């Protein structure tokens, strides 16, 4: 029902999962991430415990292939399931059960894997992975979204479109960016819009949030406010409206 990409940016250590499906709210079930520890995607006949327990084992330092063997061996439903995961150092592995609905399969490469089931064909994950590599110079979020778009253009989920999600963690236990299109005619395009909205204000505010290295965060927000105002002025001068659907604030 789904295809996804699980990736680690080797230059920063950031971890991400991008996913799309002809299924409602796929972002609620598939991606599981913990900053600096690892990322897991559990899909097909989803077992959320693959995500939650997989992260615990990644935190204990277990190798991804050993985690897959442990989780699937204790699950009678494993032939209908699919998962892929990566740890904080880039070790990764993937599993596709023999009873997953065709087309189903996975590809594993350095710091990235792509897996899917109920797809139009193997070209979906092949094009997704190729685009991810081709977009190596793009920002991490745009690289992931562009890769998923390439998979969609190659057929995607053979049943159609409904939902998609992009989740990126930096070094913390909370996401740097988490956007979902839970029920949409063109969910990947909606993710692009949400990403544009995030760049207008949210991602700048995210820079002020406390981190492990700086538990106080950025207390003086004047620099962030200045940056947001500059971006808004540039957008207005160029005649571009906000990508947001929010109503205009009413002065009080």
pLDDT for the residue 222: 85
**Beta strand ranges found along 126-198 (DSSP E):** 163-169, 177-181
User: Residue 120 has what DSSP assignment?
Assistant: S
What are the distances in angstroms from CA 235 to CA 69, 199, 200, 228, 247? 51, 12, 10, 11, 17
Contact 177, 168 (CB under 8 A): yes
Per-residue pLDDT reduced to its tens digit, 22-80: 999 999 999 999 999 999 999 999 999 999 999 999 999 999 999 999 999 999 999 99
pLDDT for the residue 235: 87
Rounded CA separation 111/98 (Å): 25
Q: Which of 206, 138, 143, 172 is nearest to 13 (CA)?
A: 172
Rounded CA separation 53/75 (Å): 13
SS3 of residue 147 by DSSP: helix
Rounded CA separation 85/7 (Å): 8
Q: Give the global pTM.
A: 0.94
From the CB of residue 132, how many other CB atoms can be counted at a distance below 10 Å? 24
Per-residue pLDDT reduced to its tens digit, 199-217: 999 999 998 999 989 999 8
The tokens for 160 are 């159609």
Q: Is a pLDDT exceeding 90 seen at residue 160?
A: yes
Rounded CA separation 206/217 (Å): 10
Rounded CA separation 202/176 (Å): 10
Q: Which of 143, 186, 180, 153 is nearest to 164 (CA)?
A: 180
Q: Is a pLDDT exceeding 90 seen at residue 86?
A: yes
Per-residue pLDDT reduced to its tens digit, 127-140: 999 999 999 999 99
Q: Is a pLDDT exceeding 70 seen at residue 249?
A: no
From the CB of residue 238, how many other CB atoms can be counted at a distance below 10 Å? 7
Averaged pLDDT of the chain: 95
Q: Say how many Å lie between the first and final Cα of the chain, rounded.
A: 48
- Sign of the C-alpha dihedral, residues 109, 166, 173, 198? positive
């Amino acid at each position: 029902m789904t295809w996804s990409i699980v990736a680690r940016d080797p230059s920063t250590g950031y971890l991400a999962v991008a996913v799309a499906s002809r299924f409602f709210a796929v972002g609620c079930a598939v991606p599981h991430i913990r900053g600096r520890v690892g990322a897991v995607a559990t899909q097909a006949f989803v077992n959320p415990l693959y995500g939650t327990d997989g992260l615990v084992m990644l935190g204990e330092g277990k190798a991804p292939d050993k985690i897959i063997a442990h989780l699937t061996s204790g699950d009678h439903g494993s032939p209908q399931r699919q998962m892929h995961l990566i740890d904080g150092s880039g070790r990764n592995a993937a599993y596709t059960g023999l009873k997953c609905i065709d087309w189903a399969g996975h590809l594993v490469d350095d710091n990235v894997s792509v897996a899917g089931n109920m797809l139009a064909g193997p070209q979906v994950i092949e094009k997704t992975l190729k685009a991810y590599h081709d977009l190596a110079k793009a920002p991490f979020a745009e690289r992931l979204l562009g890769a998923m778009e390439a998979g969609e253009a190659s057929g995607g989920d053979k049943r159609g479109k409904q939902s998609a999600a992009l989740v990126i963690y930096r070094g913390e236990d909370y996401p740097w960016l988490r956007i979902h299109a839970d029920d949409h005619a063109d969910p990947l395009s909606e993710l692009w819009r949400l990403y544009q909205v995030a760049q207008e204000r949210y991602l700048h505010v995210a820079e002020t949030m406390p981190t492990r290295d700086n538990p106080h965060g950025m207390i003086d927000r004047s620099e962030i406010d200045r940056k947001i105002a500059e971006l808004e002025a540039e957008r207005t001068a160029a005649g571009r409206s906000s990508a947001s659907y929010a109503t205009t604030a009413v002065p009080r």
